[in-house]
């Protein structure tokens, strides 16, 4: 295969930089990655940089409670490191997440509680992204001497071993709940590649925080773990990014370009594992390959059986794209699978990896999903390298690909090597070896329901940063007004003013004032005035007008007034704010934005008239846009007011319930973990889950029957 591929990686086109790494290693599944991070961090002297989509202070790095005298819990481990190493600075940059993830995320980082216990531990939530985007890079750099890049965050639900047992008592989340098998891959590099990744994280910190982190001086010790055997030595590694256009910076689309370039260069096979498959450009590039009379085999390993909300959004987009790709497979060179194991009962292993191997001469591992947003909207970082004619590199890439397939198929590497050599085809080898209790299962052909046309693809999985004006398209009336331009201009100016106020809040010291001390003091003061209800409701209205994050207002209300009062204050505050901003949108003119509508949008408008409650509920549950913009857009549309209010009530209640009750009890259980607090936490968690399931099953089922 040495001559099968042309050189793919090109600086300035499909990668940022190509730099030497003295050592590289593949870390398959969370147990190996978390262990490598732990052992590397033990050797840190000057700097630990952590950035990710989600970082949970309660993450357990290893199953036992203590290892080498250090605790297993992430925040406690980093605190112990900072206390013992007097020159160590730890910077942690997470994503300032959307309200949709309230059930999945630790809310305490909003107030920095777990990270404020040492002056050399610095934590910040990165909100410097275009509308609809996120910080999705998963990078850790230690002393600029070793770096980890891949699909895994230091958060709950990631730890697992390659055997992926259906029941593993060591696989529990911070609340003590068992979670299912989880598959992911990370890559480790050192040398100049690691230093460049340190520069990348420091640049992100500066953009998000406005402060400079100085690079560490060269440490005296080598933080590469002795237990981590390098897969390769002395190679050149490419750093590949997605950076959305934002705040005067141009867009970087190296991730997308490299995918397309590597597809075009493939000759024998393309092997990919990914969490999602919804990218228009990826789908078209794969389809183009499959239409050729002679081209590479394509083997995709995807995730099946994710949670209901994800299945009804990204799952629908995957089904659409798979249908188009399969239609292009006129020569039978495509196979799509999901991995499973005994006892999973039809649900697959949770595939969270984002990797690609081409002809055993090229490999990439990183954070980028095969989704539109990973190509242009979310910040991403991948690593890649190619063999460049070196047999030792090709052999290592082949061994990596084989180890992944053996894990999924439940076979030994010798058996796979022999079958692959005999068949001369990756697809034929997989087909011959699969079928055991641990195996790869053909991905089913999914039927598309009426909701597939209703879901706004380019809002949930956008192909470019979301323009607030274009969000109005999803709420577009059918009528066309000839008197719209002036009102449209007023509307756009209002949106820009609101966004400017939101930006002012992000860039000024106001954000630093949000902490438990100031919130508690404010709560006591409001209680003393006797005007708490009026002040709180007014605060929600004013907050929505300046686009202050509604999630923080809800959590702050819970901390001020407790779970019961906090729930009702938050619910009525959100409803009142929604009604006021809806009214502003209505006063600006229901017909204003219709001039922007085409035939497709008018068809969508008719669906809105029929399914108004469902659409508003979806807009509240899904992170499609900020609270205020959804309200203004709805007011400018023809959605019936009572449907708007009902959809808001249904869509906001689960998140408010979780933020005001569940997190309140969770705080009590953590601060005073007695039997009463833990029991209350368990009961409330069960009630919340039950309520969500009832709303989901009854409301969405009835709407499905209506369609």
Q: What string of DSSP letters covers 522-541?
A: HHHHHHHHT-HHHHHHHHHH
Q: In terms of DSSP H, where are the helices of 445-530?
A: 451-454, 457-460, 468-471, 484-507, 516-529
d(CA 290, CA 319): 18
Closest CA to 285 of 318, 254, 262: 262
Closest CA to 278 of 227, 241, 248, 319: 319
173 three-state secondary structure: coil
The DSSP annotation for 87-153 comes to: T-EEEEEEE---GGGGGTS-SGGGGTGGGTTSTTEEEEEE--S-TT--B---EEEETTTEEEEES--
Q: What's the Cα-to-Cα distance from 253 to each of 101, 248, 374, 467, rounded to whole Å?
A: 26, 16, 9, 18
Closest CA to 321 of 183, 461, 185, 136: 461
> Which two three-digit tokens encode residue 201?
């994280």
Residues in CB range of 520: below 8 A, 6 or more apart: 559, 560
pLDDT on residue 649:
84
Residues in CB range of 215: below 8 A, 6 or more apart: 47, 144, 195, 198, 199, 202
d(CA 658, CA 85): 38
> Which two three-digit tokens encode residue 632?
């203004």
Q: How open is the CA angle 350-354-355, to the nearest 5 degrees?
A: 120
The DSSP annotation for 45-62 comes to: SSEEEEE-S---TT-BSS
For residue 255, with 0-12 CB atoms within 10 Å meaning exposed, 13-18 middle and 19 or more buried, which class applies?
buried
Q: In terms of DSSP H, where are the helices of 359-456?
A: 372-376, 391-409, 413-423, 426-433, 451-454
Closest CA to 111 of 623, 529, 558, 676: 558
Q: How open is the CA angle 45-49-55, to the nearest 5 degrees?
A: 130
φ and ψ of 103, to 5 deg? -75, -25
Q: Which domains does the chain have, with CATH numbers?
A: 17-233 (3.30.870.10), 245-442 (3.30.870.10), 467-706 (no CATH)
Residues in CB range of 83: below 8 A, 6 or more apart: 118
pLDDT on residue 96:
81
> Which two three-digit tokens encode residue 66?
């203590």
Q: What's the Cα-to-Cα distance from 557 to each of 39, 90, 511, 562, 656, rounded to whole Å?
A: 41, 31, 16, 8, 10
Q: Tens digit of pLDDT for each residue in 316-351?
A: 789 889 999 999 999 999 999 999 988 886 678 999
> Which two three-digit tokens encode residue 424?
């001369």
pLDDT on residue 155:
94
pLDDT on residue 185:
98
Longest CA–CA separation in the chain, Å:
82
Strand partners, 379: 135
pLDDT on residue 657:
75
Q: Are 387 and 397 in contact (CB under 8 A)?
A: yes
Q: How open is the CA angle 373-377-381, to the nearest 5 degrees?
A: 85
Q: Which residues of the chain have pLDDT under 50?
A: 1-4, 99-100, 450-451, 454, 469, 472-485, 487-488, 490-492, 494-495, 498-499, 501-506, 510-511, 514-516, 590-609, 663, 666-667, 669-671, 673, 688, 692-707
Give pairs for 279-283: CB < 8 Å, separation 24+.
279/321, 279/370, 279/371, 279/372, 279/374, 279/375, 280/321, 280/372, 280/463, 281/256, 281/372, 281/375, 282/256, 282/370, 282/375, 283/321, 283/324, 283/325
Q: Are 49 and 201 in contact (CB under 8 A)?
A: yes
The DSSP annotation for 337-378 comes to: EEEE-TT-TTPPPEE---EEEETTTEEEEES--BSHHHHHTS
From the CA atom positions of the chain, what is the Rg in Å? Answer: 26
């Amino acid at each position: 295969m040495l001559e099968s591929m042309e050189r793919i990686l090109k600086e300035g086109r499909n990668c940022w930089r190509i730099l030497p790494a003295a050592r590289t290693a593949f870390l398959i599944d969370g147990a190996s990655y978390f262990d490598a991070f732990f052992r590397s961090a033990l050797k840190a002297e000057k700097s630990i940089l952590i950035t990710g989509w989600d970082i949970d202070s309660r993450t357990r790095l290893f199953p036992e409670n203590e290892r080498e005298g250090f605790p297993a819990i992430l925040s406690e481990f980093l605190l112990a490191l900072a206390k013992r190493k007097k020159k160590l600075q730890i910077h942690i940059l997470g994503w300032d997440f959307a309200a949709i993830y309230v059930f999945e995320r630790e809310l305490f980082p909003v107030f920095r509680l777990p990270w404020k216990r040492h002056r050399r531990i610095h934590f910040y939530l990165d909100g410097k992204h275009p509308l609809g985007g996120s910080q999705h890079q998963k990078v850790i750099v230690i002393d600029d001497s070793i770096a980890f890049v891949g699909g895994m965050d230091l958060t709950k639900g990631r730890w697992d071993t390659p055997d992926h047992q259906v029941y593993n008592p060591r696989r529990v989340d911070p609340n003590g709940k068992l979670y299912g098998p989880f598959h992911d891959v990370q890559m480790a590099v050192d040398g100049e590649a690691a230093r460049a990744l340190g520069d990348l994280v420091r640049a992100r910190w500066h953009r998000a925080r406005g402060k400079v982190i100085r690079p560490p001086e060269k440490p005296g010790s080598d933080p590469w773990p002795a237990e981590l055997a390098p897969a390769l030595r002395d190679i050149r590694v490419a750093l590949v990014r997605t950076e959305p256009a934002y705040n005067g910076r141009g867009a970087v689309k190296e991730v997308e370009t490299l995918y397309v370039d590597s597809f075009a260069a493939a000759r024998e096979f393309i092997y990919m594992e990914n969490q999602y498959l919804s990218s228009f450009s990826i789908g078209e590039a794969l389809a183009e390959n499959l239409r050729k009379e002679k081209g590479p085999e394509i083997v995709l390993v995807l995730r099946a059986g994710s949670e209901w909300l994800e299945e009804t959004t990204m799952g629908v987009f995957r089904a659409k794209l798979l249908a188009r790709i399969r239609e292009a497979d006129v020569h039978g060179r495509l196979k799509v699978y999901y991995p499973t194991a005994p006892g999973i009962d039809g649900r697959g292993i949770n595939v969270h990896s984002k990797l690609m191997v081409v002809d055993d001469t090229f490999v990439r591992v990183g954070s980028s999903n095969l989704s539109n947003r990973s190509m242009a909207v979310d910040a991403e970082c991948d690593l890649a390298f190619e063999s460049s004619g070196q047999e030792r590199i090709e052999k290592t890439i082949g061994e990596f690909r084989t180890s992944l397939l053996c894990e999924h198929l439940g076979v030994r590497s010798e058996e796979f090597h022999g079958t692959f050599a005999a068949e001369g085809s990756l697809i034929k080898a997989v087909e011959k070896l699969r079928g055991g209790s641990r195996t790869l299962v053909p991905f089913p052909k999914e039927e598309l329901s009426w909701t597939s046309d209703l879901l706004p693809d380019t809002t949930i999985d956008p192909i470019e940063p979301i323009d607030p004006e274009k969000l109005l398209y999803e709420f577009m009336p059918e009528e066309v007004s000839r008197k719209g331009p002036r009102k449209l201009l007023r509307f756009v100016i209002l949106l820009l003013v609101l966004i400017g106020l939101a930006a002012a809040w992000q860039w000024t010291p106001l954000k630093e004032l949000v902490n438990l001390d100031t919130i508690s003091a404010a709560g006591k003061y409001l209680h003393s005035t006797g005007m708490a209800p009026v002040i709180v409701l007014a605060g929600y209205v004013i907050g929505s007008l300046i686009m202050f994050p509604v999630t923080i207002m809800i959590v702050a209300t819970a901390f001020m007034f407790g779970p019961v009062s906090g729930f009702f204050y938050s619910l009525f505050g959100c409803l009142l704010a929604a009604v006021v901003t809806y009214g502003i949108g209505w006063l600006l003119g229901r017909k204003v934005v219709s001039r922007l509508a085409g035939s497709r949008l008018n068809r969508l408008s008719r669906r809105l008239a029929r399914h108004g409650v469902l659409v508003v509920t979806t807009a509240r549950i899904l992170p499609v846009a900020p609270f205020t913009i959804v309200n203004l857009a709805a007011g400018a549309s023809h959605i019936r007011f009572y449907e708007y209010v009902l959809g808001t009530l249904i869509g906001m209640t689960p998140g408010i319930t979780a933020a005001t009750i569940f997190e309140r009890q969770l705080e009590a259980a953590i601060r005073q973990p007695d039997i009463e607090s833990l029991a209350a936490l368990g009961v409330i968690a069960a009630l919340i889950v039950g309520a969500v399931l009832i709303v989901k099953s009854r409301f969405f089922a009835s709407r499905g029957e209506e369609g």
